[in-house]
């Protein structure tokens, strides 16, 4: 009876925490939220994650692009049949009408990654749409290299944040799930390393760049999935 | 500012989801809805009257999930729970009358407890027009004869889908994926799993894996668009000699093996490709587009 009573009290605290969280993160002075986070490990982890996400998101390049940029992105994605992919994928993490129980850290980190990917791909998509055939790989080599470095710094930072979160929770994961995630991440880490090595030798090879971007994006997906479902 | 607003939106969305169990999904989402819970080992069966095109979702922990389309306006579900520490929630929406949405959730009764093998096996019949959304981390998923859109994600189990007519979206980390006689759009992604496409009539098909292999067996629909991408595994395309397609095959470190007498042409884009690692050509009148890429695996294009 006493245990049940404590559990119900805990649930009430979690519900109040949940209701107050958004306002708290927007700056409302509510010591109850911090107090509950210190007493409840799952809510505490959540608050830590969200504060980390907010800090990470703040570091992302968030200048508002012109409508033309968004229009080009949309056109390029639609042409490649990617818009539906993205919507479906992100809807899975973010949709408020989802009936399945979800956890915030993976969703929000994945959302931060989406922002990073959009900002990173912006240049590629624009270039793709207005590519000048007269521009040879040689003349654009330095631009490509700079772009590549930019891609790495932004994406790696976000994926790293997810990976740190993953490692912190790895010990609590179901062993069989952990094994599969680990194998997947190993494959992707190998891919990333091989792509980076190849780019050293063939900096203009667009196929390698595509593979590198794909590997980062897949790694983010695997990490997001692990953070969401790894501990069930 | 935009970023903060978006993050805040996420946080607000999240506030609906902070809960300690599958039952507290949020009243907003379930009104009006019926909620049934079952706990304890053994098999349970239920039948629900539905619309012709209900959305059926299954969120499992581990175990087999088999779903088959039938010609009744009913969903019949039989599930077997192997541990008394696992429960199954059933949510129906609307609560009264033919269901438009049905959701089955397997959950740990004590979420903090680690259950070594939390298996629930499902066998489900649904109206052929149903749409499916299945999450089953550890266990095989078998789907047959569904006309609506189908989404499956798994961690390590094999996923097999046959005779799907709607948009098919399949994701797995380590499991193999098999798609047989699909006619709608297909997207299949795995990291370590193999992909196998058999006799598709889909006009849009995309298969991606990192270390698994990809095998495509069948013809291409006129106007179809097929993209197969692998990292270290091999890709084998086996199609009839009468097939009509434009081939765009590229590899970074792998090999190309083509049995078709292609009419050569230039690459389809201005992207840089090192010589010897790409093959661009037309077979027949080139009615379909086939793009095949592998980083270090071998690409085989063979005649049946």
Contact residues on chain B for A49, CB-CB shorter than 8 A: none
Q: A148-170 as b/e, with b when 16 or more CB fall inside 10 Å?
A: beebbebbeebbebbbebbeebe
The vertex-A49 CA angle with A36 and B19, nearest 5°, equals 55
CB B206 within 8 Å of CB B227: yes
Query: pLDDT grade, residue B99 (50/70/90)?
Result: very high
Please list, in sequence order, all residues whose beta carbon lies within 8 angstroms of the beta carbon of residue A86, skipping any fewer than 6 positions away: A77, A114
Mean pLDDT of B161-184: 96
Closest CA to B67 of B10, B175, B179, B145: B145
Cβ A207–B187 below 8 Å, yes or no? no
Which pLDDT score, from 0 to 100, does residue A84 have?
42
Mean pLDDT of B174-181: 97
CB B108 within 8 Å of CB A232: yes
Place of tokens 């969401």: A228
Cβ B25–A108 below 8 Å, yes or no? no
Structure tokens at A225: 């999935």
Q: How many other CB atoms are found less than 10 A from the CB of residue B110?
A: 10
Give B273 or A220, the one with higher predicted confidence. Answer: A220
Place of tokens 């499916």: B132
Closest CA to A128 of A73, A81, A86: A73
Mean pLDDT of B266-289: 75
Beta B86-93 vs B168-172: how paired, if at all? unpaired
pLDDT at B101 over 90: yes
Alpha carbons B224 and A93: distance in angstroms, whole number: 30
Query: pLDDT grade, residue B102 (50/70/90)?
Result: very high
A177-211, pLDDT tens digit by residue? 888 999 999 999 999 888 888 888 887 788 888 88
Cβ B15–A100 below 8 Å, yes or no? no
Residues of chain A with pLDDT under 70: 1-11, 56-154, 230-232
Provide the H-helix boundaries in chain A: 2-25, 31-39, 41-59, 67-79, 83-94, 104-129, 141-170, 175-201, 206-229
Which pLDDT score, from 0 to 100, does residue A127 have?
38
Nearest CA to CA, how far is B38 from chain A (Å)?
Answer: 17
> B interface mutation test: which of A79, A82, A93, A101 has the most B CBs within 10 A?
A101
CB B49 within 8 Å of CB B74: yes
Point out the least confidently predicted range of A56-60, B23-27, B283-287: B23-27
Is the pTM higher than 0.80? The answer reads no
Which pLDDT score, from 0 to 100, does residue A198 have?
84
Residues 104-163 of B with CB under 8 A from A: 105, 107-108, 111, 114, 118, 135, 137-138, 151, 153, 155-156
Which pLDDT score, from 0 to 100, does residue B4 have?
37
Measured between CB atoms, does B27 come within 8 Å of chain A?
no
B122-161, pLDDT tens digit by residue? 999 999 999 999 999 889 999 999 999 999 999 999 999 9
Residues 210-229 of A with CB under 8 A from B: 210-211, 214-215, 218, 221-222, 225, 229
Nearest CB to A99 within list B3, B18, B103? B103
Which pLDDT score, from 0 to 100, does residue A130 have?
33
Cβ A187–B29 below 8 Å, yes or no? no
Percent over 90 (pLDDT), chain B: 72
Which pLDDT score, from 0 to 100, does residue A41 have?
79
Which pLDDT score, from 0 to 100, does residue A78 have?
53
B218-269, pLDDT tens digit by residue? 999 999 999 999 999 999 999 999 999 999 999 999 999 999 999 987 665 5
Structure tokens at B116: 């070594």
Burial class (CB in 10 A: 0-12, 13-18, 19+), B180: middle
Beta B42-59 vs B74-81: how paired, if at all? antiparallel
Q: CA–CA distance from B195 to each of A64, B180, B226 (Å)?
A: 40, 11, 14
Alpha carbons A116 and B218: distance in angstroms, whole number: 39
Nearest CB to B25 within list A99, A174, A232? A99
Which pLDDT score, from 0 to 100, does residue B273 have?
53
């Amino acid at each position: 009876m006493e245990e049940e009573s404590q559990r119900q009290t805990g649930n009430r605290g979690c519900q109040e925490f949940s209701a107050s969280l958004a306002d708290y993160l927007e700056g409302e002075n509510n010591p109850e939220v911090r107090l509950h986070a210190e007493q409840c490990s799952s809510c505490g982890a959540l608050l830590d994650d969200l504060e980390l996400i907010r800090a990470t998101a703040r570091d992302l390049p968030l200048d508002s692009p012109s409508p033309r940029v968004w229009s080009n992105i949309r056109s390029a994605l639609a042409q490649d049949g990617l818009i539906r992919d993205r919507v479906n994928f992100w809807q899975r993490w973010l949709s408020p009408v989802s009936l399945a129980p979800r956890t915030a850290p993976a969703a929000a980190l994945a959302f931060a990654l989406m922002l990073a990917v959009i900002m990173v791909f912006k240049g590629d998509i624009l270039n793709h749409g207005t590519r000048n055939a007269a521009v040879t790989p040689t003349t654009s080599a330095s631009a490509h290299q700079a772009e590549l470095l930019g891609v790495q710094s932004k994406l790696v930072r976000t994926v790293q944040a997810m990976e740190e979160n993953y490692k912190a929770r790895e010990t609590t994961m179901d062993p069989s799930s952990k094994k599969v995630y680990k194998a997947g991440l190993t494959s992707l880490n190998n891919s990333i390393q091989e792509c980076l090595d190849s780019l050293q030798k063939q900096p203009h090879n667009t196929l390698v760049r595509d593979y590198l971007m794909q590997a980062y994006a897949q790694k983010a997906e695997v990490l997001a999935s692990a953070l969401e479902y790894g501990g069930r | 500012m935009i970023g903060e607003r978006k993050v805040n939106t996420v946080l607000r969305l999240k506030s609906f989801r902070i809960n300690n169990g599958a039952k507290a999904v949020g009243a907003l989402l379930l009104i009006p809805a019926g909620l049934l819970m079952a706990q304890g080992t053994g098999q349970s069966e239920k039948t629900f009257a539905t619309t012709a095109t209900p959305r059926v979702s299954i969120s499992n922990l581990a175990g087999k999930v088999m779903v088959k389309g039938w010609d009744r306006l009913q969903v019949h579900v039989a599930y077997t729970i192997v541990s008394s520490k696992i429960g199954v929630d059933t949510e129906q929406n609307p609560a009264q009358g033919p269901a438009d949405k049905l959701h089955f959730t397997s959950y740990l009764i004590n979420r903090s407890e680690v259950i070594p093998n939390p298996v629930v096996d499902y066998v489900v019949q649904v109206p052929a027009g149903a749409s499916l959304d299945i999450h089953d981390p550890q266990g095989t998923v078998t789907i047959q004869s569904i006309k609506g859109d189908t989404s499956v994600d798994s961690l390590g189990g094999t996923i097999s889908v046959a005779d799907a007519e709607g948009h098919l979206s399949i994701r797995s980390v380590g499991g193999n994926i098999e798609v047989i006689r699909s006619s709608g759009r297909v997207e299949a992604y795995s990291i370590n799993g193999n992909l196998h496409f058999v006799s598709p009539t889909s006009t849009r098909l995309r298969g991606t894996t990192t270390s698994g292999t990809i095998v495509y067996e069948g013809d291409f629909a006129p106007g179809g668009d097929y993209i197969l991408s692998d990292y270290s595994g091999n890709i084998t395309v086996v199609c009839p000699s009468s097939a009509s397609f434009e081939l765009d095959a590229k590899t970074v470190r792998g090999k190309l093996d083509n049995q078709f007498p292609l009419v050569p042409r230039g690459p389809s884009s201005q992207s840089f490709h090192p010589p010897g690692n790409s093959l661009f050509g037309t077979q027949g009148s080139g009615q379909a587009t086939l793009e095949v890429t592998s980083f270090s695996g071998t690409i085989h294009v063979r005649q049946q």
